Amino acid sequence: MTVKHRAAIDELVSYKPGRAPVAGRPQVKLSSNEMPFGPLPTVLDAISHAAATLNRYPDFHRVELTEALARRHDVDPSQVVVDNGSGALLQVLASVIAGPGDEILYAWRAFESYPIVTAVSGATAVAVPLDDQYAHDLPAMAAAITDRTRMVIICNPNNPTGTVVSRVELEKLLDALPDDVLVVLDEAYQDFVTDLSSPCGIDLVGERPNVAVLRTFSKAYGLAGLRVGYCVTRPETADLIRKSIVGFSVSTLAQAGALASLAPESAVELKRRIGHVVAERTRVTDELIHLGVPVVPSQANFVFMPMPDGPAMAAAFEERGVILRAYGTDGLRMTIGATEENDRFLTLAAELLRRS
């Protein structure tokens, strides 16, 4: 006997995280878009200090962190909502914006949580295929808008392909939308973008009433294990989120670590680490191109290689000690790691993927 539940949940494909190393085996994990470096020293100090207060509940309203983020992005604190990861915020947004009979529009292939949050909200998913450059087809997405559309998700840079949208094309999509349809810009990898044609979504929040931007401390800041993300949007949309998030969902350690990450003394080291990823991204891409491997130019901290035998290739790499992420017959994704980890990947790529 199964308890009664919504039938749409039966159709869900559960989110599958990147494979973790097997205990006792010397493996390199390049499957989850994590930073290869541990938390900044100042962050570790802040977390250690905060640990002494764990007998107390965390700050329910995340006041210090919210105010620090508002200063960082030059917005009012009423426009910032902090929660335990940008994915949690996306789930809340989907649930408060859309429901049965409504539609949530997103590109595909994109982040695998999008169909999940849509189904959980009760809305209908409208997935628009990426274009032939593995990027969002924004004109096609504009054409897919109906009077049932309530939310549009743009993953910029896109996961897993690493492509970005231009501000010009994004403005055209925004112009095609009614002002009461929310556009969510998922900018988890924004810190790695070097393409000047791609917009900073937070700049658009002040210009458009229907834009919400999601950011995370899991990627560039290296705090994936703490689970902290935030949304920047108009105050009225932020209020909808605050009414619906779970109380005390951002731990004391997470708030302390994220706050320390924003401190001026963390900026130099953070910039160096991001610079490492960008430089290694270029090196890995160039080497793969030299090998004749198809590569999508990336603006994130990973590289996507279109290939129909992705699962078989992922298995072959894992047997040799490098864990990658396969996306069915669409391709293979490799997260940029430390230099020696990338070298190990490239050595195997010359053996397993060489096309030239």
pLDDT at 11: 76
**Which band of pLDDT confidence, cut at 50, 70 and 90, is reported for residue 26?**
confident
**Which band of pLDDT confidence, cut at 50, 70 and 90, is reported for residue 159?**
very high
The beta strand positions in the chain, using DSSP E, are 28-29, 80-83, 103-108, 124-129, 149-155, 182-186, 211-216, 229-232, 302-306, 322-323, 325-327, 331-335
Angstrom distances, CA of residue 76 to CA of 72, 81, 88, 104, 220: 10, 11, 22, 28, 24
Mean pLDDT calculated for residue range 344-353? 97
Question: Mind listing the domains of the chain with CATH numbers?
Answer: 9-33+265-352 (3.90.1150.10), 43-264 (3.40.640.10)
Whole-structure pTM value: 0.95
Per residue in 205-246, pLDDT (tens digit) is 999 999 999 999 999 999 999 999 999 999 999 999 999 999
Per residue in 104-126, pLDDT (tens digit) is 999 999 999 999 999 999 999 99
pLDDT at 247: 87
Compare 6 and 165 and report the one with higher pLDDT.
Answer: 165
Q: Is it the case that residue 24 has pLDDT exceeding 70?
A: no
Which percentage of the chain shows pLDDT scores above 90? 90
Mean pLDDT calculated for residue range 31-50? 95
Mean pLDDT calculated for residue range 19-47? 88
